[in-house]
Chains A and B, each alone.
Chain A
Amino acid sequence: MIEAEKLTKYYEKVAAIEDVSFSVEKGEIVGFLGPNGAGKTTTMRILAGFLPPSSGTARVAGYDILTNSLQVRRRIGYLPENVPLYTEMKVADYLDFVAEVKGVERRRRRRTIGEIMEKCRIVEVQRMLIGALSRGYRQRVGIAQALLNDPEVLILDEPTLGLDPKQIIEIRQLIKELSGRSTIILSTHILPEVSMVCQRIIIINEGHIIAVDTPENLTARLQNSAKLLVRVDGPADQVNAALSRLPGVLRAEAMEEARDAAVSFVVESERDRDLRREVSCIIVERGWGLLELRPADMTLEEVFIRLVTEEEQGVRE
């Protein structure tokens, strides 16, 4: 349903996202997770046809966002981050306008709008000015306008931002209810939100995708292991065997590139257990050369930690 290919967007000379590629299957709910400023909104805007990418392209609902923007826009529902709605319009009038431009037939329009207002629970405010609505209602009007054309793809940018806990639960429930009909991609910087709603998570940081997996796998990968990168001058299989047998090591794996005699290994250990001393000892004991020993790239984890701390701050605020 969504295939992004090497999406890159520069603002002036700063890259907001770089080489972002991913795909979303029909009927999936995918969460776009990352700290503030990671490039979530930029990606969402590109998919919704509001911003063109500097390079790369994407196909949404089978159409190219660059060459067939109109066809894409007919098939999506989009909720921008801050839910910009016409404050001086009444809810029902606004939905009527959106239904008309989204091509809902005149004779079905009234019924469609009624159904969607019921689904989003905004029937009671339909005669009110949008500007007078509370944040929670406004968010639901935002979701309602996105649903009017019965979209194949729903793009929701931070759908629970600025809501109180009760409203957050309601919106999440609503999103889950929608999952049968549409493919949904939603962005958030709240960790538990994605695990509650989404089947798959794309983690983005500083404009790059750093992990794509199911919530369960990601949590497993992160919570149970720490990684060391070891570069050893010695016979690969013997080193591997020796490292694997070390107490506390879950897995040792040789990395592919093997220039000269040295081989790099990734040693996975239990979390919170520093194995550097044991690893260096055994290598030196066997008479191999220890060329490098350092903690492996931890970006994913760092991002997670940042997300968790951000969330804690959010709760305290």
Chain B
Amino acid sequence: MNVLAVFKKELRSYFASPIAYVILTIFALISGYFFYSLLTFFSLNSLQASFNPAFAQGLNATEWIVRPLLRNIAVTMLLLMPAATMRLFSEEKKSGTIELLFSYPIRDWELLLGKFLAALALYGAMLGISLLDLAMLGFFARLEWGPILSGYLGLLLLGMAFLGLGILASSLTENQIVAAVGAFGVLLLLWVIGWSTEAAGPTLGPILSHISIINHYDSFAKGTIESKDVIFYLDFTLLCLFLTLRSLESKRWRG
């Protein structure tokens, strides 16, 4: 199965170079720090709440720890994912290995899917690391796992969209920096576009809010899985992958 072969090869190169280690380490540090600071803040407030029963009503770990943590993880991914995807096609083009790769009997979509899944596996490992923190907390405190799991499903879908755009950028240039900055720039733009919905007026506002890549995440964070949001992320990912396929084909045709 060619997809599997490409997948294995890509994972191997992720871990043969420092990229995967750097990304995983930095992510573990950052998400661990977020977790730690949210947890201490929460326990401080819990201590105060023990003197003030009215205040204690509003205190729960999901609201105070899980939701902000996942939101912060999403921001971190926005910064890290372009670094994980930038080499996928750019490097092959720069070093010329794409010439041999294209001479093998691999269909373009098999190649793309293998690379996408390898990046997704790296992303999955990152999510796994952050889930360890919560699992640890789960030993000592009672957590609502429903919103956590739906939050992670949302992160997974959001991450797929990030990866899709990253791969598309990588397929368009042979320069890894350009691929990373391009992907990051577009993602950031799609992110902040949601902030200006109120100023944009009654017609443009909802449109901006709908194409904002992070607005669709809110429902997952609240613990509800809405099909329109799932479909948004899947659509976004598929569109990016489709455009990548076209870009690979056009490379063949334009030479």
Contact = CB atoms under 8 A, between A and B. Distances in A.
A49 B102 CA distance: 7
A174 interface: no
Contacts of B16: 88-89
Contacts of B133: none
B107 interface: yes
Nearest to A157: B99
A101 B12 CA distance: 16
Contacts of A88: 13, 16-17
B5 interface: yes
A145 B100 contact: yes
A51 B95 contact: no
A136 B67 CA distance: 57
A11 B4 CA distance: 35
A102 B13 CA distance: 20
Contacts of B107: 70
A121 interface: no
A172 interface: no
Given A93-B12, A97-B8, A101-B5, A87 B103 contact: no
Contacts of B5: 97, 100-101
B58 interface: no
A97 B95 CA distance: 18
Please classify how large the interface on chain B is, using the bins under 10, 10 to 19, 20 to 34, 35 or more.
20 to 34
B255 A11 contact: yes
A62 to B, nearest CB: 15
Nearest to B114: A101
A101 B104 contact: yes
Interface in A93-123: 93, 97-98, 100-103
B112 to A, nearest CB: 14
Interface in A54-77: 70, 73-74, 76
Contact of A101 (B106, B252, B255): B106
Nearest to A47: B103
Given A88-B16, A93-B12, A73 B95 contact: no
A50 B95 contact: no
Contacts of B103: 48-50, 73, 76, 78, 80
B105 A74 contact: yes
A171 B222 CA distance: 66
A100 B4 CA distance: 9
A80 B96 contact: yes
B252 A51 contact: yes
Contacts of A76: 103
B95 A87 contact: yes
B99 A50 contact: yes
B9 interface: yes
Contacts of B253: 52
A102 B8 contact: no
Interface in B216-236: none
B102 A84 contact: no
A82 interface: yes
A163 interface: no
A217 B232 CA distance: 69
28 contacts: A49-B103, A50-B103, A50-B252, A51-B255, A52-B255, A70-B105, A73-B103, A76-B103, A80-B99, A80-B103, A82-B96, A84-B95, A84-B100, A86-B13, A86-B97, A87-B95, A88-B16, A88-B17, A89-B13, A97-B5, A97-B8, A97-B9, A100-B4, A100-B5, A101-B2, A101-B5, A101-B106, A102-B104
Interface of B: 2, 4-6, 8-9, 12-13, 16-17, 95-100, 102-107, 252-253, 255
Of all A-B residue pairs in the complex, the 5 with the closest CB atoms, nearest first, are: A84-B96, A100-B5, A78-B103, A73-B105, A88-B16
